[in-house]
Structure 1
Amino acid sequence: MTSRFCLTLLTLLLAGNACAAPAALAPLLGSIEERLAIADQVALSKWDSHKPVEDRPREREVIAAAVALAPAYQLEGGTVEQFFTAQIEANKLVQYARLSQWTLKGQAPDSPRPDLVGQIRPQLDRLQKRLLQQLADFGPYRTDPQCPSWLARATHGGDRPELRRLALVRATAELCVSKG
């Protein structure tokens, strides 16, 4: 009876650990959220300059630069392209929402405005390399059947504002892939 109980307990413990998200997920999500926080600064810049959120040449430039770095991180170009496209789309989601909120109020927040080209873009470029490394670190877990559950728990947990949660869901939408 005792050995059966121990075996059952061990099985439950191992099953519980199998459902736990890998350690590589938290830093990746942290960097994704850091990138999303920068979207507020980008939106302020676009508000002030009256430039559109959509900047396809810049988006192509960011994605091409990331894809060019992919081999250095043992990542496939297609994986990197898909990942950074999702980051850009999530970032634009935040920008569109902020611009809409500010338009409704008739003003943007009275907060410091970092320079888009001189301050914000270099910050995004530095973050890009960290994201590539973290994507590579998370790579072995992308096909795990539990991956969608890990992401759902991580993106819906905590006390994020709704917009940040939705943007995080968009940014991570293609992180998990099926083996089929």
Structure 2
Amino acid sequence: MLPSTSVRHALTAAAVTTALFASAAPGFAAERQSTAQTGQAAQAGQTGQASQAGHTGKPGPYAQLHPLASLSAERLATADLVAAAKWGTGSPIDDPAREQVVLDTVRKQAVETGADPEATVRVFRDQIEANKLVQRELHRLWTADPSKVPAERPDLAEVRKEINRVNTALVQAIAGSATARSASYCRGVLAVSALQVRHEKQLDRLHFKALARAVPSVCAEQD
């Protein structure tokens, strides 16, 4: 008997998260060596994908999936600013009305760009939850140690402009990666892409944990 859709989705998320957290776990042996190996693997993948693209005229799996991981990390960087903007104001981290506006907007953009609207919304639900994960952790940190609170409060309206920019780019990346996202190799290539993004952007443990939360639904459920 095949597992239910919800179970398959949970297994997909668990597989991606396990792959991503393998290098982030405390005591993981030779982390620097692992990072170097990841970079080498990604570089080899890029070379192979460039060759494939040259033959087919279409970007290969890594070229399709890496932008999704990279843009997810960019979106997570805005969580720090949102957390700082909300700190001490009484504004809740959970904002269902704002979240629904985001989901409605990206659904409309997906239709306009040729992306699957339902898949796009699934991806953005994870993006939103990952962003809130960072906000909550930062608020806990600042409550425990007020000296770490940012000295300046960002303008939330300006931060949301940046979030909207990244959202639009993410929708376009989703539209351009349908082949890789639906393939059986998606989870493996996505994990390599995320590890490479961690190296490129020097993500700390919190933001890498959030990245693992942000990307599982990038890969389509497999029958």
Map 1:93-132; keep pairs closer than 5 Å: 93-117=133-157, 119-132=158-171
Output the amino acid matched with 2:97. Answer: P
Which runs of 5 or more residues in structure 2 are unaligned?
1-43, 50-59
1:146 Cα offset (Å): 1.4
Is contact 2:65–2:181 with CA below 8 Å preserved after alignment?
Answer: no
1:120 Cα offset (Å): 0.9
Alignment partner of 1:81 is 2:121: yes
Q: 2:184 aligns with which of 145, 167, 171?
A: 145
CA distance in 2, matches of 1:27, 1:90: 17
> Per-residue displacement from partner, 1:54-95 (whole Å, max 9, x unpaired)?
000000111011111211111222111111111100000000
CA distance in 2, matches of 1:17, 1:143: 20
Which runs of 5 or more residues in structure 1 are unaligned?
1-12
When Rg is computed on C-alpha atoms for both structures, the one with the higher figure is: 1
Is contact 1:70–1:77 with CA below 8 Å preserved after alignment?
Answer: yes
Map 1:57-68; keep pairs closer than 5 Å: 57-68=97-108
Across the aligned residues of Structure 1 and Structure 2, the Cα RMSD in angstroms comes to 2.3
1:145 Cα offset (Å): 1.4
Specify which structure has the bigger relative contact order, considering alpha-carbon pairs within 8 angstroms and separated by 6 or more residues.
Answer: 2
SS at match of 1:48: coil
Alignment partner of 1:166 is 2:209: yes
Aligned-pair identity (%): 31
The number of residue pairs the alignment matches comes to 165
1:123 Cα offset (Å): 1.4
CA distance in 1, matches of 2:190, 2:65: 8
**Paired residue for 2:86?**
46
Output the amino acid matched with 1:136. Answer: A
Is contact 1:44–1:113 with CA below 8 Å preserved after alignment?
Answer: yes
Q: 2:131 aligns with which of 64, 87, 91?
A: 91
Output the amino acid matched with 2:217. Answer: E
Output the amino acid matched with 2:184. Answer: P
Alignment TM-score, normalising by the size of structure 2: 0.67
1:26 Cα offset (Å): 2.1
SS at match of 1:163: helix
Is contact 1:47–1:108 with CA below 8 Å preserved after alignment?
Answer: no
1:156 Cα offset (Å): 3.8
